[in-house]
Structure 1
Amino acid sequence: MAPVTGGTVLRPIAVVGPTATGKSDLGLDLADTLGGEIVNIDAMQQYRGMDIGTAKLPVEERRGIPHHQLDVLDVSETATVARYQVAATADIEAVLARGRVPVIVGGSMMYVQALLDEWQFPATDPQVRAKWETVLDEGGPAAVHEALRHADPVAAETILPTDGRRMVRALEVVELTGMPFAASQPTIGDPRWDTVILGVDRETRELDDRIARRTDTMFDRGLVDEVRTLAENGLRDGVTARRAIGYAQVLEYLDGGYDLAHARERTFIGTRRYVRRQRSWFRRDPRIHWLDGGDPKLTESALRAVRDAETGVTPSSRMTPDRR
C-alpha cells in the first residue's frame, strides 16, 4: 500500500503505451497538476547523450519538474531491467516519502512489468550471455531465433524474431534454469504501490503519420551528428545502446552499409514495428485505463481516469484504435 500523507493516499501514476502517442506531455501535465515528479521508464532515455533519437525532453522543456532515471548510463554500459528495477524502486519510494506523486512515463514493456509486478529475475551468467551475444553479432537475429526455436519453441513463437536482445536473454534463462523462458515471467496482479496505470494510444494512421514526422525531425535536428559523437565515445562498444532504433541505422550508414535516405526509412519502419509490438503487449494488461492521445482534453480525461481508479471503477478502453 502506498503511503498516506495528510489523510490522502499517495499512489504513483504510470503513463504507458506506444511510442509517439503523447505520453511525455501528458506526464508533465499530470505532474504539474498533482504535485509530482517524473520517473522515466524508457530504456534508451537512460543513456547520456542519446537525446535526439530517443525524443528525450530537453531540460528547458521539463517545466522545472524533477526527472529521475534519465541520463544515468554511459553508452558503453549495458542497460538491464534488473538494474532499472532496483534504481527506479528507490526513486519512487523517495518521491512518495517526500509527499509527492511519482509519475512513471515511458513505453519499455519489460521495464514496466518488472517495476509494477516486482519481477524476480533468474540468475544471469556473463559467459552464457556472451556466448549468445556472439551468435547474435555474427549471425544476426535469425541465428538466435533458430537457436531459440530448438531450445524453447514457445518462446520463439512469442518473441518478435527481430528482438535479438530478448531472444538472447531467453536462451540464457533456458540454459541456466533448464526450464522454458515463460516459467520466469511474472503474473499480472495488483500493481505495486496501487499504481494507477494509464495507457495512451492513437489511431494507427494518425500514429504512423506522427512517427514519420518524428523520424524526419530527428534527422533534421542532427541525429547523424549525435550518433557520430557517441560513436567516438564508446557507442559501438555497448551491447544495448548501439542497437537502439535510429542509432543502429545511422551507425550502419556511417559504416557505409547504406545511404542516408535508407537509414531514415529503416528508422521509420523499425519504429512502426516496435509500436505494433508495444500495442500488443500493453493491450493484454486489463489494469490499464486507455486514453486517446488525440483527445483535446486528454489531461482532463486522464485525471478522470485517476479518480475512477481511486473509487474502484474497472478500467475501460476509452478508445479502441485500429490496430492493423
Structure 2
Amino acid sequence: MTRLVAVVGPTATGKSDLGIALAAALHGEVINADAMQLYRGMDIGTAKLRPAERAGVPHHLLDVLDVTEAASVAAYQRAARAVVERLLAAGRTPVLVGGSGLYVQAVVDELDFPGTDPALRAGLEAELAHRGPAALHARLADVDPAAAEVVLPSNGRRIVRALEVIALTGRPFPARLSTGGTPRYDAVLLGVDRPTAELDERVARRVARMFAAGLVDETRDLLGRGLREGRTASRALGYQQVLDALDGGGDLEAAAAETVRATRRFVRRQRSWFRRDPRIRWLEAGHGDPIAEARRHVGS
C-alpha cells in the first residue's frame, strides 16, 4: 500500500538527500516542507537543491511565492494536501521533506487554521509599528497568559497573529500545537538528526559555503524584487543578517558569524518541536545505513 512518508528534523542534518533517495526507491515524488524554499530566487540561503541535484525526482512546492508575499501555513496546507492526494491516487509515494514543523504537521494531521481579517490585522500591525512588540505582548498576557508564555515578546508578527485569532474566534490562541494529533493519513514520520557538536560544525560549514557561493549577491538581487517589503522572506536566516550588514556598513564577516549563531539557535528549536512527537522514528545520519533503515520503517 502506498503511504505518505515525511522526512523531518533540524537544518543541515541531510534530510534532502535522504528524501530524494527514498522517493527514488519508493517510486515517489518530493513535496517541499521548508517554508523559505517556497520563495522564488531564495536559493543559496535556503540550501535549495538545484534541478541537476534532484536525481530526476519530481519536486513540488518549490519556487511558488514571490518574496513580497507572506507565507501562509493555511495556503500551504491546501496546496500540499492536493499534491499528496493526487500522488496517492496515482500510486506514487509522496515524500514530504523539510524542517518547518508547523507546515509538516498541517499536512499530516487534522489541523484547522483560523482565517484572517484584513482590517483587524492592519490595525494591529499599525499599533505594533507605533507602540512596539512589548506593549502588544503585555496585552496578550492579559487576554491569554498561556499563549504569552510561548510567544516571544520580540516576535511582533506572531503576537499580532495571536491577538487577531483571539479576537476572531473568542478562543485562546493555539501557540503550542499538540503533537500526535488526529492523523489525516497513514503516514510514516522519519526524523533525521546528528549529535549537537557535529551539527554545529555542519551549520558553520554550510553558512561558509553559502557566503562563498554568492549569498550577498543573491540578497542584493532579491532587493530589486522587493525582499525588504516581504514580511516573511526578509526574516529568513542569512538574508536577514545580510540585509542588516548592508544597512549598517557592510560587515559581511559579522553577518556570516551571526547567521551561524542564529541557525544554531533555530536548530535547537526545531529539535525541540520534533522531539515532542512520539510518532517520529529517529535515524542518526552519518551512522549505519539510514536509507536502508528508513526503508525498513516504511515497510519496503
* Shared fold (TM-score, shorter chain, > 0.5): yes
Tell me, yes or no, if structure 1 residue 84 matches structure 2 residue 65: no
Q: How far did residue 63 of structure 1 move?
A: 0.6
- Runs of 5+ in structure 1 lacking a partner? 1-8, 311-324
What does the per-residue CA deviation read over 1:174-226, in whole Å, with 9 as the maximum and x for residues that have no partner? Answer: 22223211389466335322010001111111111111111111111110100
When residues 261 and 64 of structure 1 are mapped into structure 2, their CA distance, relative to the original with a 3 A threshold, is same
Distance 1:64 1:15 in 2: 19
User: Matched residue of 1:182: which SS?
Assistant: coil
Q: Please say if residues 122 and 184 of structure 1, whose CA atoms lie closer than 8 Å, have aligned partners that are also in contact.
A: no
Given that 1:52 and 1:218 are in contact with CA atoms closer than 8 Å, whether structure 2 keeps it comes out as yes
Q: 1:294 Cα deviation (Å)?
A: 2.1
Query: Tell me, which stretches of 5 or more residues in structure 2 are unaligned?
Result: none
TM-superposed deviation, 1:128: 2.4
Map of 1:60 onto structure 2: 52
Task: Decide whether the 8 Å contact of 1:202 with 1:292 is kept in 2.
Answer: yes
1:283 pairs, out of 270, 275, 284, with 275
How many pairs align?
300
Distance 1:240 1:143, change over 3 A: farther
When residues 40 and 284 of structure 1 are mapped into structure 2, their CA distance, relative to the original with a 3 A threshold, is same
Where do 1:1-324 residues align within 5 Å?
9-136=1-128, 142=134, 144-182=136-174, 185=177, 188-256=180-248, 259-307=251-299
Judge conservation of contact 1:135–1:143 (CA < 8 Å) in 2.
no
Q: How far apart are the structure 2 equivalents of 1:138 and 1:210?
A: 40
Q: Distance in 1 between matches of 2:182 and 2:167?
A: 31
Distance 1:163 1:101, change over 3 A: farther
Distance 2:281 2:19 in 1: 15
TM-score relative to the length of structure 2: 0.93
Cα contact 1:253–1:263 (8 A) shared by 2: yes
Alpha-carbon deviation of 1:99? 1.2
CA contact (8 A) 1:224 1:250 kept: yes
Displacement of 1:259 after TM fit? 1.6
**Alignment RMSD (CA, Å):** 2.1
Kindly indicate whether the alpha-carbon contact (under 8 Å) linking 2:151 and 2:175 is maintained by their aligned counterparts in 1: no
Paired residue type of 1:20: A
Instruction: State the one-letter code of the partner of 2:7.
Output: V
Secondary structure of the corresponding residue to residue 93 of structure 1: helix
Quote the Cα distance in structure 2 between the aligned partners of 1:300 and 1:54.
27
SS of the residue 1:291 aligns to: strand
AA aligned opposite 1:57: L
Aligned partner of 1:320 in structure 2 is: none
Residue identity matched to 1:19: T
Q: Distance in 2 between matches of 1:220 and 1:228?
A: 15
Contact 1:47 1:241 (8 Å CA) reproduced: yes
Change (3 A) 1:186 1:203: closer
Cα deviation, residue 114, structure 1:
1.1
Q: Which residue identity is paired with 2:41?
A: G
